[in-house]
Structure 1
Amino acid sequence: MSASPFEHPYLSGLLGDADMAPFFSVEADCRAMVDFEVALARAQGGSGVIPPDAAETIAAALAGFSPDVDALAAGTGRDGVVVPELVRQLRKAVGRDAAAFVHVGATSQDVVDTSLSLRLKPALAILDARLAAVTEALQALEDRDGDIEVMAHTRMQAAIPVPASRKIRSWRDPLVRHRARLDVVSAGVAILHFGGAAGTLEKLGDRASDVAQRLASALGLKPVDHARHSERDGIAELASWLSLVTGSLGKMGQDIALAAQSEVGEIRLSGGGGSSAMPHKVNPVAAETLVTLARFNATLLAGMHQSLVHENERSGAAWTLEWMILPQMITACAAALRHAQALVGQIAIRPLKSGADEAAAKDGRS
């Protein structure tokens, strides 16, 4: 076991995701935070809050900035957030008179939350593309095997024969609906977080709105009419969406694992996991992993809903909880979609057998 199976040297082969991990690396986070500070300086230079030449000095000095990560760790342990130490390093890198114009009017939460927004945009684009790929693969499976008659099961008992398309659509259609919801979910998190000490941008006076508009435009984020430092419904909605996706994939994985049992044989898998003791086995590893990841995200969702409780204008406790939970939920969702696409490509649906299955069908109709 590991404290972080998503990054573990070998557990990550099952639970991690190589495409998603870079968005939650220290390099990506620091780069996004520096991008915020550079864009802020330029926005303020354009609005006359700071001298324009100071803004360009800041941008030039930070173009190749590389932080002292050990110092960031020590600073975070001391301050509870990385930004005070990061800003100290940025000002040192800028040097001379322009250093005083780094981070003007901003607060730590502006930097951390906007960094997350910047990284969530490409991360959600990957999830969207994978959702599309899984739904297309399920449609192809239905086109090929949808007319095959299989046994429906209600309450784990054989019910009546149904076309395989009945089962496949119960896997695909929720994913189609989740993908349709993603635009709204993305709009709730791809926003600029910029409010200053208590969300009022009081240090920028009547130039606050202009700076915010310029900053949002430069970063490619949506401006909002006031900072959402303690309004976390957008983040919680994303967490709910992630759990819905993995939950629907978990339902599919559970169905496939049951149908692929040796005694059932309704589905044959062309690939699977081996056993150290029983070399004849082909274990439905991908299907089982979908169930695991669904249950994992379902348990974490409660924690993300706890993080909605931000006291007053900012909460260190609720905010930190988000940092611990959300990256894991996103990585779990990415891994589930990766496994799901591979799993659908391994499925061959087998027709109903005669004899016992027909008797079970008759019992189900009686």
Structure 2
Amino acid sequence: MSLSPFDHPFLSGLLGDAEVGAWLSAEADLAAMLSFERALAEAEAAEGVIEASAAAIIAEQLAGFVPDMAKLKAGLGRDGVAGPELVRQLRERVGGEAAAFVHFGATSQDLADTSLAIRLRAILEIFGQRLNGLAGALAALEKRDGATRTMAHTRMQAAIPVPAARKIRSWRDPLERHHAHLSGVADEVCVLTFGGAAGTLDKLGEKGPAVTRRMAIALGLKAVVHARHSERDGTAGLASWLSLVTGSLGKMGQDIALLAQSEVGEVKLAGGGGSSAMPHKVNPVGAEVLVTLARFNATLVSGMHQSLVHENERSGAAWTLEWMLLPQMLLATGAALRIASEVVDGVSFVDRGAQA
């Protein structure tokens, strides 16, 4: 049983996305956190902050580490973050003098935010591939059906006949713009967060920048001048981009649902949803879900903008709000891109004479 429709035992058949969801799982989060701790120890050893032997022991012990999830859950309920309990378990695992150098100079937000950045890098690569594939499918649809006559509608009233290409381009062009903007969005969120207690790396002294650069290279992330613990514009910008993507897909879904109406019939769907009471119906389920997901993300994006308001150097309230909202927006976007591809593959335009 689940409270989320994205991983619900049967609702996920409509709204789920296993590929994106895997990167948002507890297992993926923990694996990324361990990557952070390994990269931290190795970078600090390379710069002479800790002994190389300590870094080697830490890396060796992290390789087979499996956390006590019950204690991690209890610790998060107590501390508000996973870091303190996870680090305690890691130090216990490492043991000896090397244990003191686990997580040296870092803070819990460094660990959590970098884990998210590692996973966002993979998720945004998936989104880029899907956007590219969807734009290609729409281009193929335009090539095949673009000359078909359809009726343009303004303010839901018949206007003038136009080629189907006019409608298809209005679906495809925004997606190409979103794809073009994706690299800039990724550049602002796929960053290393490493600042220590209050973002100053005080325990590392002059070695801080060099350790940061080494960690960023090892983790495949961007190094920034200072940790963005309370500067959340990149994350809010990502949320805005997600809402734009699903909004554009929702517009396409709305158009297709209207064009597929029995009274209009300018679009034929290769597949659709059945009815328990009216077996003759072919419901535009995929197109409708695109509208739903667009409205869902448009609702959540306002909450992500609320999370911009961090008091001073770190906010537990604003940060926790991100944890609640961003994963859902990512899953909604993944599902929308998946469903949109299925919808477009099943669409064909029908020439009904484009008469008013």
TM-score between both structures, scaled by the size of structure 2: 0.99
Q: Distance in 1 between matches of 2:244 and 2:185?
A: 12
> What is residue 140 of structure 2 aligned with on the other side?
140
Indicate yes or no: 2:277 matched with 1:277: yes
Q: Distance in 2 between matches of 1:206 and 1:176?
A: 44
> What is residue 304 of structure 2 aligned with on the other side?
304
> What is residue 113 of structure 1 aligned with on the other side?
113
> What is residue 182 of structure 1 aligned with on the other side?
182
> What is residue 364 of structure 1 aligned with on the other side?
none
Indicate yes or no: 2:297 matched with 1:290: no
Q: Distance in 2 between matches of 1:127 and 1:61?
A: 34
> What is residue 352 of structure 2 aligned with on the other side?
352
Q: Distance in 2 between matches of 1:181 and 1:347?
A: 27
SS at 1:225 equivalent: coil
Q: Distance in 1 between matches of 2:59 and 2:242?
A: 36
> What is residue 45 of structure 1 aligned with on the other side?
45
Q: Distance in 1 between matches of 2:31 and 2:69?
A: 12
8 Å contact from structure 2 (residues 17, 334) kept in 1 = yes
Q: Distance in 2 between matches of 1:213 and 1:155?
A: 55
8 Å contact from structure 2 (residues 265, 352) kept in 1 = no
Q: Distance in 1 between matches of 2:249 and 2:27?
A: 31
Deviation at 1:3, TM superposition (A): 2.1
Deviation at 1:96, TM superposition (A): 1.1
For residues 259-299 of structure 1, give each alpha carbon's deviation from its aligned partner in whole angstroms, at most 9, with x where no partner exists: 10011101010100011111111000000000000000000
Deviation at 1:2, TM superposition (A): 5.3
Instruction: Give the letter aligned to residue 261 of structure 2.
Output: Q
Q: Distance in 2 between matches of 1:28 and 1:68?
A: 16
Structure 1 unmatched runs, 5+: 361-366
> What is residue 363 of structure 1 aligned with on the other side?
none
SS at 1:4 equivalent: coil
Q: Distance in 2 between matches of 1:19 and 1:338?
A: 10
Tell me the number of residue pairs that the alignment of Structure 1 and Structure 2 aligns.
Answer: 356
For residues 14-64 of structure 1, give each alpha carbon's deviation from its aligned partner in whole angstroms, at most 9, with x where no partner exists: 111010111111111001001101110111111111111000000001101
User: Residues 171-210 of structure 1 correspond to what in structure 2 (within 5 A)?
Assistant: 171-210=171-210
8 Å contact from structure 2 (residues 131, 179) kept in 1 = yes
Instruction: Give the letter aligned to residue 35 of structure 1.
Output: S
8 Å contact from structure 2 (residues 148, 349) kept in 1 = yes
> What is residue 260 of structure 2 aligned with on the other side?
260
> What is residue 12 of structure 1 aligned with on the other side?
12
Indicate yes or no: 2:226 matched with 1:226: yes
Moved over 6 A (4+): none
Instruction: Give the letter aligned to residue 243 of structure 2.
Output: S
Q: Distance in 2 between matches of 1:154 and 1:61?
A: 65
Deviation at 1:164, TM superposition (A): 0.4
User: Residues 25-64 of structure 1 correspond to what in structure 2 (within 5 A)?
Assistant: 25-64=25-64
Deviation at 1:220, TM superposition (A): 1.0
Q: Distance in 2 between matches of 1:34 and 1:165?
A: 50
Deviation at 1:348, TM superposition (A): 1.1
Deviation at 1:352, TM superposition (A): 2.6
> What is residue 74 of structure 1 aligned with on the other side?
74
**Aligned pair in 2 of structure 1 residues 115, 255: CA closer, same or farther (>3 Å)?**
same
For residues 85-136 of structure 1, give each alpha carbon's deviation from its aligned partner in whole angstroms, at most 9, with x where no partner exists: 0000100110111111101110000000000000001110000000011100
Deviation at 1:218, TM superposition (A): 1.0
Instruction: Give the letter aligned to residue 211 of structure 2.
Output: V
Q: Which moved more, 1:1-10 or 1:323-332?
A: 1-10
8 Å contact from structure 2 (residues 147, 165) kept in 1 = yes
Instruction: Give the letter aligned to residue 116 of structure 1.
Output: L
For residues 329-365 of structure 1, give each alpha carbon's deviation from its aligned partner in whole angstroms, at most 9, with x where no partner exists: 0110010010100100111101133xxx53x2xxxxx
Q: Distance in 2 between matches of 1:2 and 1:175?
A: 32
> What is residue 163 of structure 2 aligned with on the other side?
163
Instruction: Give the letter aligned to residue 88 of structure 1.
Output: R
SS at 2:18 equivalent: coil
Q: Distance in 1 between matches of 2:297 and 2:58?
A: 41
For residues 303-354 of structure 1, give each alpha carbon's deviation from its aligned partner in whole angstroms, at most 9, with x where no partner exists: 000000011000000000000010110110010010100100111101133x
SS at 1:158 equivalent: strand
TM-score between both structures, scaled by the size of structure 1: 0.96
Q: Distance in 1 between matches of 2:104 and 2:348?
A: 61
8 Å contact from structure 2 (residues 274, 281) kept in 1 = yes
Q: Distance in 1 between matches of 2:69 and 2:256?
A: 45
Instruction: Give the letter aligned to residue 247 of structure 2.
Output: G
> What is residue 243 of structure 1 aligned with on the other side?
243
> What is residue 328 of structure 1 aligned with on the other side?
328
For residues 121-165 of structure 1, give each alpha carbon's deviation from its aligned partner in whole angstroms, at most 9, with x where no partner exists: 111000000001110000000000000110000000111000000
Q: Distance in 2 between matches of 1:46 and 1:193?
A: 19
For residues 195-216 of structure 1, give each alpha carbon's deviation from its aligned partner in whole angstroms, at most 9, with x where no partner exists: 0000000111111111111111
Deviation at 1:256, TM superposition (A): 0.3
Q: Distance in 2 between matches of 1:219 and 1:349?
A: 47
> What is residue 338 of structure 1 aligned with on the other side?
338
Instruction: Give the letter aligned to residue 31 of structure 2.
Output: R
SS at 1:19 equivalent: helix
